[in-house]
Amino acid sequence: MPKTQPDAIALLKADHRKVEDLFAQFDSAKGADRKQKLAQQICMELTVHTIIEEEIFYPACKEKVDADLLDESYVEHDGAKVLIAEITGGSPGDDFYDAKVTVLSEQISHHVEEEEKRSEGLFAQARAAGLDVDALGARMEARKQELTAQFKASGLPSPETRSFMGHDLKQGAPIGAIAYR
């Protein structure tokens, strides 16, 4: 019987390629409406992706892959979530909007590289550890479909960070209000 759905790693890599394409489209987009539509789609894709990794894939990797690499993955996700919240709460006319999308793209590019490194990346370590990537893929695909439908109907939720704790961030003066010497 032919395989009908991707394993967990193939699913995550397909997500990576889709988001890379969306970032490339954003880079060449003209017009505020097009940029906002692409940015919202990027944020939707990344939000769903981070949730399925954090709920299903990363817990399956715990104690089977390098713990420091897994910890870095959570922190990288949390950094992306902060930018996602800024982007979804803003619009292309806002100061730093394009810069936030660009920095998010750069962060995601680094994160993808860490996961996909040929021999020592997170995905390679997961395969070498013998994770049941087919079963994980089925669970992740089902959860992905559920989340996508939910978020399309009700919008993206406020991000939930897992590694940034115990801080009350304060809003400083906007960059434009700072007098340069």
Q: Which pLDDT tens digit goes with each residue over 69-110?
A: 999 999 999 999 999 999 999 999 999 999 999 999 999 999
Which residue ranges make up each domain of the chain?
8-154
Over range 39-54, report the average pLDDT. Answer: 97
pTM score, whole prediction: 0.90
Task: Kindly tell me the burial class for residue 118, based on how many C-beta atoms sit within 10 Å of its own C-beta (0-12, 13-18, 19 or more).
Answer: exposed
Whole-Å CA distances, 103 to 52, 62, 107, 166: 23, 28, 6, 24
Per residue in 1-36, pLDDT (tens digit) is 555 788 999 999 999 999 999 999 999 999 999 999
